Structure 1
Amino acid sequence: MEKENEVRIDKWMWATRIFKTRTIATEACKKGRVSIGNVSVKPSRTIKAGEIIQVRKPPVTYSFKVLALTEKRMGAKLVPEYLENVTPQEQYDILEMNRISGFINRSKGLGRPTKREGRELKKFTEGDFFDDGFDFDFDFDDYEEND
């Protein structure tokens, strides 16, 4: 385990697998999505053990307590030695509500239909729904002449 006194926040977030690349971690800092003590930080900000970092990935703000410092990317099994997820439960509740409401309140006409909607549409257009005994090739002109 490599330990230092101070490490750049973008390097640490990449090393502890919060972000897939250091570039993404740097961009998150520049866009104001990373903060310490409710103050947005620059990617070059150094961190120390014991600090709590908030990372905003809408709609949720995750909180991580720095347990140890590193600049080297690690395997997922080693991450708990370097950070502790201290995200409040209400943030996860927001995430769950968004996940559920995303299916219930899906705007009609936007995006592709779901599998279920596709099956219902197919049943509607190809099924027995239109087999009601009417001849759709019925010629109304012929009907009027016989009257």
Structure 2
Amino acid sequence: MQKAGKTDAQEKFRLDKWLFAARFFKTRSLAAEAIERGKIHLNSDRVKPAKVLAAGDMLTIQIGNYKYEIEVLALSNKRGSAAIAQQLYRETEESCRQREIIAERLKAQPTPFYTRGRPTKRDRRRIMQLKDNQ
């Protein structure tokens, strides 16, 4: 007896699995959460994680400050290397330019004195030195 398996024609390519395979998110659950929160649009429509994806679809992906506009070139449910993942989609020229502009703006901003939480011992010494100088 032969096992009943799905061929490529029968296999469904879920949006959350594809986003994970294309390496936009580190886990499938993060991809599904982003879709639920409305950060992912398929052909300008808000969708659910189980939406079936097809080659030629246009995706708008919002991750942090960056917005990707991509065209789906190939389908995959399995996460592979970064080189394989890059062959699954093509980013539009306008999207690339916008992301570069945003990256330049973020680099131009001054870095915070300390990034998060409590200041380190070194940061506290700098703060005390500034207070003493005033």
Q: TM-score, normalised by structure 1?
A: 0.66
Q: How far does residue 90 in structure 1 lie from its aligned partner after superposition? A: 1.9
Unmatched 5+ stretches in structure 1 = 130-147
Matched AA of 1:26: A
Identity among equivalent pairs (%): 25
Structure 1 pair 65/119, CA: closer, same or farther in 2 (3 Å)? same
Once the two structures are superposed, what CA deviation does each residue of 1:64-111 show, in whole Å capped at 9, x if it has no partner? 21110011111112122211222241233123212322x26x4x7985
Match of 1:96 in 2: 104
Alignment TM-score, normalising by the size of structure 2: 0.71
**Counterpart in the other structure of 1:52:** 58
Q: Is the contact made by 1:6 and 1:69 (CA closer than 8 Å) also made in structure 2?
A: no
**C-alpha RMSD over aligned residues:** 3.2
Question: Is there any run of 5+ residues in structure 2 with no aligned partner, and where?
Answer: 1-6
Q: CA deviation at 1:120?
A: 8.3
Among 30, 50, 75, the alignment partner of 1:69 is 75
Deviation above 4 Å: which 4+ runs of structure 1?
2-6, 108-111, 115-125
Would you say how many aligned residue pairs link Structure 1 and Structure 2?
A: 121
Per the alignment, residue 135 of structure 1 pairs with none
